[in-house]
Amino acid sequence: MLEDIIRLLHEGKHSLVVSNGEVRTFDRRGVADLYALLREDSDFLKGASVADKVVGKAAAALMILGEVGELHADVVSRPALDLFADSGVRVSYGTAVPHIINRTKTGWCPLETCCRYCLTPQDCLVRIEEFITLQSKRMNSDK
């Protein structure tokens, strides 16, 4: 099962694939799709198999809170692996990195930075929500 969704992740050039009775593919950047799933359809995440291209600490927190069963990440950060350590989520990955970098490759991913000192997935969720709210306000003020 996990191998099938990993193949779909790559062949379909998706950012995220979740399987739990049905297979759903997602294409937004960052944690947007995971956050929406947790908020709008958290039952779909419970026990799900997930394939993701890049998993930082924020994505890890969302998966843990959603009670995902297993994850394969092409790239995962050490802070994410640390958060997963006692979560019960089975994790496999291609490459582990010290941290996730931002899109311009000039520094840390903003959410990796926001969640850097958080100790629990719940702490991360608070920071993720603050980040999303701030981003939304910025986008609305640009219009």
**3-state SS assignment for residue 14:** coil
On average, the pLDDT of the chain sits at 96
* pLDDT value at residue 142: 74
Q: How confident is the model over 15-55, as pLDDT tens digits? A: 999 999 999 999 999 999 999 999 999 999 999 999 999 99
Q: How far apart are CA 1 and CA 8, in angstroms?
A: 11
* Model confidence pTM above 0.85: yes
Structure confidence at residue 138 (pLDDT) = 85
Report residues of the chain scoring pLDDT below 70: 143
In order of their start, the domains of the chain are 2-141 (3.40.140.30)
